[in-house]
Amino acid sequence: MKIKLFLLLLFFSNCYFAIAQEDDELEVKNEMDSEQTSQNQDMSEAMRLKKGYALGDGLTLESASTWLNFTQSLQLLAGVSSTDNFDSYSSEFNIRRARFNFRGTLFNEKVYVRLRINLVGNYQSTTTGSRSYNNTLQDALVEYRPSPNHRINFGVRANYDDSREARIEGESLGFIERSAISTAFDPIFDYGIRYYGIYRFGGNVLKPYVSITTGDGTSALQKNYGGFKYGIRLDYLPFGTFSKGGEYFMDDLVHERVPKLIIGPTFSYNDGISSAKGTNGGRYIYGDAAQNELLPDLLKTGIDYMFKYRGWYSLGEYVYTHAKVPSGIAGEFNTSGKFTPYTGQTPEQIKNTVLSRLNVGSGFNVQAGYCFNSFALSGRYSYIENDPNAANFADMNRYYSCVGTFYFSGHNLKLQTEVGYQEYKDMLKTPDIKGNIYGQIMFTLQL
């Protein structure tokens, strides 16, 4: 009897222990679920979608100390052109830009990051292998902001020392394309370290920019040819800053209530350039008699301005480039690294060969327009003069164009139509053909 009673008590005690153990496990699980739910709630409160979405805002995640933003843009282009005798014509249909952009700040905006890729390849490199031009990656940088008025960034981005047009995003241009000046002389994207500051003196604003880059464009992500490129820009704003970032787009969409002006000289020195203007480093590699690399240097200087007032705007630029070809160049390396000597050529002939591959010369661009409530009309005139021995980058040296832009939602949704005339150099004109007439239309959408 005692044995039976003992076994019965043992049975119930084990049952109780098992039930108690299950209750403990359930309680722990409930506590963990509760803790996880609390964490999820905290996370949902900390990271949330931006409310009140407007076109161009993209997808934004934000917290008390961090925000991350993802945007996309698309530009569809169609065009037609013909010589001025209209015997024939050519047409063009393409996606001008299709970009994905990521940007954000960390640690209460002390650190800024940006990554941008262009999914459209409009450029075809004449080189192969490690010297090819990469236009897919356009921005990849980290920026430290010790204060709102001082910034230091490291990575790939547009150069500060290029023309003012190059400082304006392609989606925010008042024309379908940048001018011939920018096309001829601006490498735009490069890899390096840069400083940007803002100094205020009463109503005046001074913005210095300093950069040390590879001078090879994005091909420097594989190798830096030659030395570095040193650039400076000094922007002066005598009437204070533009409204809503107006210095970074062309048309005066905000109708500045008081005159706004920005004027800035620029200077850069590329120590050992290996491409036409510093875009595709490694395209042209020269060497001395001992097959040691020996490269020319390129100096670029210029000045530009932008003015806006009550819907009117004007932008002007002047650029001058000069090359220094070192003595002692005895041959060149092809893309596979094989050295070919310049047999039987005089030093002057060798110098002219080097110059014939560089964008050396000068030019200016001036444009102006007026913006109504949702429509803008602008005109542009550009002129280029290349050095007689430089690369033949200016068969057409005078450019005239007129553009009308319909703004449906600022630069986030717009339609542009442009007509223009490109005039050949006098030596290239014929009795029947003196230039080229073109028309274009482009649709821009930013999400």
DSSP 162: S
In whole angstroms, give the CA distance from residue 353 to residue 334.
15
Return the structure tokens found at 350.
């060798």
DSSP 26: H
Return the structure tokens found at 270.
């590329």
pLDDT in tens, the chain (447 residues): 433 333 343 333 433 333 333 333 333 334 334 434 333 444 344 455 566 778 888 988 888 888 999 999 999 999 999 988 788 889 989 899 999 999 999 998 899 999 999 888 654 444 443 444 556 888 999 999 999 999 999 999 999 999 999 999 999 999 999 999 999 999 999 999 999 999 999 889 999 999 999 999 887 777 888 899 999 999 999 999 999 999 999 999 999 999 999 999 999 999 999 999 998 888 899 999 999 999 999 999 999 999 999 999 999 999 999 999 999 999 999 878 899 999 989 999 999 999 999 999 999 999 999 999 899 999 999 999 988 888 877 788 999 999 999 999 999 999 999 999 999 988 888 888 899 999 999 999 999
DSSP 177: S
In whole angstroms, give the CA distance from residue 77 to residue 176.
9
In whole angstroms, give the CA distance from residue 77 to residue 20.
73
Predicted pLDDT at 357: 92
Residues recorded for the chain: 447
**Number of other residues whose CB lies within 10 A of the CB of residue 188:** 21
The closest alpha carbon to 82, from 432, 377, 443, belongs to: 432
Predicted pLDDT at 101: 95
In whole angstroms, give the CA distance from residue 358 to residue 323.
8
Instruction: Please state the φ and ψ torsions of residue 211, each to the nearest 5 degrees.
Output: -145, 145
H helices, E strands: number in the chain? 3, 22
**Number of other residues whose CB lies within 10 A of the CB of residue 208:** 16
DSSP 105: E
In whole angstroms, give the CA distance from residue 82 to residue 166.
28
Residues 6+ apart with CB under 8 A from 48: 61, 62
The closest alpha carbon to 398, from 366, 373, 372, 375, belongs to: 366
How are beta strands 435-446 and 67-83 bridged, if at all?
Answer: antiparallel
Task: Give residue 50's Cα distance to chain centre.
Answer: 26
Let me know: does 353 contact 340? Beta carbons within 8 Å: no
**431: amino acid identity, one letter:** P
DSSP 409: B
DSSP 357: T
Report helix, strand or coil for 386: strand
In whole angstroms, give the CA distance from residue 260 to residue 252.
10
In whole angstroms, give the CA distance from residue 334 to residue 340.
8
In whole angstroms, give the CA distance from residue 166 to residue 385.
20
**95: amino acid identity, one letter:** I
Predicted pLDDT at 51: 66
In whole angstroms, give the CA distance from residue 191 to residue 140.
9
